[in-house]
Structure 1
Amino acid sequence: MEYTLLPDLAPHKIHAKIQVHVSRKWLFRGATDSGPLQHVDMVLSDREGNAIYAEIPGNLAEQKATNIEEGEVYDISRFRVCATKTIFKIVDGDKMIQFTFHTIVKRATSPPTTFPLYVYRLTSFDLIEPHVQTTNNFVDVLGVITEIHELTPVHVRSQLIPTVTRTIIIEDLSNKTMKITLWADQAIMFNLHDVYDANTNKPILVLFVGCLPKFFKGVYLSGGPACRWYFNPTIPEAEPYLTSQSTKKIVLQLPQNLQHPPAMETKPIVEHKSLYELLTVNPYDFPKYQLNTNGGFHLAQNAIKQQSLTLQVITVNHAIGMDTNLMSIDSSKYLYLFHVDSANKSNINSPEKDDGDKETAQNFDICSLIQYPLTKEKDQQIQLNRHLKGSNKGRYASDKKWTSNPPRTKVSLRSSSTF
């Protein structure tokens, strides 16, 4: 059967059939490794070495992606050809393949042996820094390993469960170095014990593909789920290294060969509840919840004293630099009060890794929700504050047969889109 080459694909060729080698396959879960699966990504190559990016939507992953293995050759048909993404491009080209419900994938029988083992586009160390400010392309680099570090536990703000990293230093032909930081599974899987001989100390050449340029105390490359590496690759660009490193020896201190990541202290998982759900529960039946606030108040441990029905509030505005230290939410019969605790100031302003998380989460004790009946005067004042001011305010009070100037309260509520 005649197969279409990848450069000849076009959106109007709906009956095209391709035979491709799956060079890479990984799962994309967004900013965190523990998030929901958004899509399955692949780098495919044809028998002439042409490459293309392919994507399987998350809702089709179980049906279409489970039988596709990295390193195998498949016949694929009934797919969609569309314009490639403009950011996070992993291969060159203006087209990409997207799987649909009708896509057919079959393992190839007796495929040719001309499929390339590596799909890459090398970037010089000198040209990596200009890529830091953009996310247009992933970067592939080649170099000799000079250092390899132990696994290091790290806490990421957007993840409750800590992850691990591993740092590798590589060197090019001009003796310039580049730091590569591998994350999570990539950090655990990186292992030199099978390729490095401590008796000969022969240099190990490595090809890293699918890295993102970053800057933190200098330029470095970040290796996530899309990253792969190949030791001593048989590519033309490796020949100068083999010639120059033939008599050179590099002593590497190999880290411990761990089958599992090191034990890490995990943050307690706190059940999440919305404000609406909190209004319907008995505050004395639940220990703690977690509430996300987007630019609003930081809710924390309550610091209040109650004498009969009188509520005395300890002022702690200086803890977070806010003029308001009390927030009330009106239910038809009860008023719930939240108070900020100065003890959590360190948690609110604690420096953590910036990973793009826009929200801040704080813990508070549900027993700090103090609930008491609203008086008739307080209810009238809250209702008036929800309506127009001036003459309209007096007219509204008159229609409701209230006093024209009901007693004012210290706490008033306005409708807010924050909650």
Structure 2
Amino acid sequence: MAHSLISELSIGDTGAKICARVSRLWDFCDVNDDTKIIHSNMVLLDEKGASIHAQVYPPTAQRLKSMLHEGKVYYIDSFCVKQATRTYRPVGNDLMLSLTKWTSFEERIHVPDQFPVVTFPLTLFEDISSFVDRNLFYVDVMGLITQIGDTTVLRPKSRNADSLKRTLQICNASGSTLPVTLWGQRAAAFDAESIYKAGQTQPQVAVFIGTLVKNYRGIGLTVTGSAPCKWYINLDTPEALKLKQRYKIVLTAADNTASTTFIIFGKTAQRLIRRPVESLIEENPTDKDFIPDEILRLTDQSFTWNSDSPDQKTAKHLSNPSSATPTMPASGTKSTQSSVIAKTSANKRTRSTSPAPAAKNLFKQSGTDSSE
């Protein structure tokens, strides 16, 4: 069926037809009444990977939404092309579509395998701070999930009703961490138990799209997700694969008083092993219980550990809460150090990046929070 590409649309077009996937679909509701829809939104994605934001108002929104399914591909016509909104743009396109009661959707039955499913421009962790309280675009981030908080109920400053809140923690390839706070229905929709269980055997790399960046007092820099936010777990992309191929070495270490478990990640582990993780994966068997010789050589060696244990907040850890760096602490740092004998645990898979067993108890959050 003849149609135009999204890149061929021009402002003022009303007679064009496009073929696009409904990549994301969400409602913008009254801040004090989640049942009152102000407008419905979608991100449309064509076969060339171009995307555009589409918006529709009630009562047409209810009619169109009953016909549409997120993820399916449709031929779409009888819409109006206009300038994109000045704030909260979900994609980089300077144009957007206004859908009306005359807009029609016809599902495309035979969709090529190469038709894109999702699009997102990733923002690096080091660039996140430049987006604090800026609302021109939503922000998309990727990271390895290391911590999953329980849901809590509180009343944000921005609304006169209670809301659910869930905070996660993700990290990038260099080990930097970033909190992700989900609000309302998005907090409830996050399948924490399934992701937590899956995280015991393999890394859980998440892409959170449609977030805003906040700097909360007492919490610091965080990305927040409400209705426009969507996430994808373990996408088959080069960026996700790079995060999965990441060192995690689990050691049991002891001094003359007690023993404990240390977990060493990323670049710190590579300095200790003196081999890139990619080379160990390539040269050794894929058996999950196999421990390469380079790691076994750490057994019975002595190190002085500079270790820090994070506060026990509301969280399920996808890695053990204790981590360590085998170096002397810098002057003035608050840390616990001891000279220990490090021994690798024979039943741990130290070659891969699979998270360690989580803390058994799920700590409950204390105090109040009135931010959103």
Same fold judged by TM-score > 0.5? yes
- C-alpha distance in structure 2 between counterparts of 1:179 and 1:228, whole Å: 16
Quote the offset at 1:161 in angstroms: 4.1
> SS of the counterpart of 2:21?
strand
String of CA shifts for 1:74-123, please: whole Å, max 9, x gaps: 11101000011121111011110110121111222222222222211100
- C-alpha distance in structure 2 between counterparts of 1:237 and 1:198, whole Å: 20
Q: Which amino acid in 1 is paired with 2:242?
A: P
> SS of the counterpart of 1:36?
strand
**Aligned counterpart, 2:354:** 249
Quote the offset at 1:192 in angstroms: 4.1
Show structure 2 runs of 5+ residues with no match.
Answer: 248-350
Q: Which has the larger radius of gyration?
A: 1
Q: Which amino acid in 2 is paired with 1:139?
A: V
Distance of aligned partners of 1:158 and 1:199 in 2 relative to their CA distance in 1, 3 Å threshold: closer
Matches within 5 A, 1:347-358: 353=370
- C-alpha distance in structure 2 between counterparts of 1:84 and 1:207, whole Å: 24
Q: TM-score, normalised by structure 1?
A: 0.58
Which structure has more relative contact order (CA 8 Å, sep 6+)? It is: 2
**Aligned counterpart, 1:232:** 234
Distance of aligned partners of 1:228 and 1:255 in 2 relative to their CA distance in 1, 3 Å threshold: farther
> SS of the counterpart of 1:88?
coil
**Aligned counterpart, 2:302:** none
CA contact (8 A) 2:213 2:221 kept: yes
CA contact (8 A) 1:214 1:221 kept: yes
Show structure 1 runs of 5+ residues with no match.
Answer: 257-261, 263-350, 356-419
**Aligned counterpart, 2:116:** 116
How many residues end up aligned between the 2 structures?
262
CA contact (8 A) 1:15 1:77 kept: yes
**Aligned counterpart, 1:58:** 58
More moved, 159-168 vs 231-240: 159-168
- C-alpha distance in structure 2 between counterparts of 1:161 and 1:200, whole Å: 36
Q: Which amino acid in 2 is paired with 1:93?
A: N
Quote the offset at 1:156 in angstroms: 3.2
String of CA shifts for 1:203-230, please: whole Å, max 9, x gaps: 2111111111111031101110111111
Q: Segments of 4+ in structure 1 off by > 6 A? A: none
String of CA shifts for 1:22-64, please: whole Å, max 9, x gaps: 1100000143452621110101100111111110112321222
Distance of aligned partners of 1:50 and 1:158 in 2 relative to their CA distance in 1, 3 Å threshold: closer
Q: Which amino acid in 2 is paired with 1:229?
A: W
- C-alpha distance in structure 2 between counterparts of 1:135 and 1:172, whole Å: 24
Quote the offset at 1:202 in angstroms: 2.4
Percent of matched pairs sharing the same residue = 29
Matches within 5 A, 1:9-408: 9-32=9-32, 34=34, 36-156=36-156, 159=159, 161-197=161-197, 200-217=200-217, 218-245=220-247, 247-251=352-356, 252-253=358-359, 353=370
> SS of the counterpart of 1:103?
strand
- C-alpha distance in structure 1 between counterparts of 2:101 and 2:237, whole Å: 38
More moved, 174-183 vs 125-134: 125-134
String of CA shifts for 1:96-155, please: whole Å, max 9, x gaps: 011012111122222222222221110011111111131111111111011101111112
CA contact (8 A) 1:150 1:255 kept: no
Distance of aligned partners of 1:172 and 1:98 in 2 relative to their CA distance in 1, 3 Å threshold: same
Cα RMSD for the two superposed structures: 2.5
